[in-house]
């Protein structure tokens, strides 16, 4: 999947571009959460893939693709919110000055509004 991810970022590698990259990131992030539950670094990497997926669909999806966007958002939000919840419950660290609890609150508010 990582090789496919790198190839998809190269110009002219995929027809359709961003939608296929968003789906790939969703799959890679979801697989990372399933396969690497005991590895904080791998979970953080999986969360990064899901955040990037959400960023792509929020910024590049056409209005007529709303059903597709809703499906991708829902599929990415569940594992990502669990990641933030686990971090909020088990750590006092604050990434970039924002607590995980605050990130979870902001994340769920934006997911509900989306």
- The residue with tokens 């799959």 is 27
**pLDDT value at 48 more than 80:** yes
- Is residue 83 within 8 A of residue 43, CB to CB? The reply is yes
Total of domains in the chain:
1
Neighbouring residues of 97: CB distance < 8 A, sequence distance ≥ 6? none
- Please write the tens of the pLDDT for every residue from 78-100: 888 888 888 777 766 555 556 66
Q: How many residues does the chain have?
A: 114
Which structural domain range is residue 15 located in? 2-113
What tokens were used for 14? 């995929």
What tokens were used for 25? 């990131």
Q: Against a cut of 0.85, is the pTM above it?
A: no
Cα gap 39→43, rounded to integer Å: 6
């Amino acid at each position: 999947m990582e090789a496919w991810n790198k190839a998809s970022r190269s110009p002219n590698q995929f027809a359709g571009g961003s939608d296929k990259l968003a789906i790939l990131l969703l799959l890679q992030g979801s697989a990372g959460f399933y396969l690497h539950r005991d590895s904080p670094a791998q979970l953080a990497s999986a969360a990064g893939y899901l955040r990037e997926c959400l960023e792509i669909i929020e910024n590049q999806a056409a209005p007529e693709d709303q059903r597709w966007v809703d499906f991708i958002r829902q599929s990415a939000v569940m594992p990502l919110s669990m990641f933030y919840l686990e971090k909020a419950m088990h750590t006092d660290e604050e990434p970039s000055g924002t607590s995980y609890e605050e990130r979870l609150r902001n994340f769920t508010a934006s997911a509900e509004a989306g």
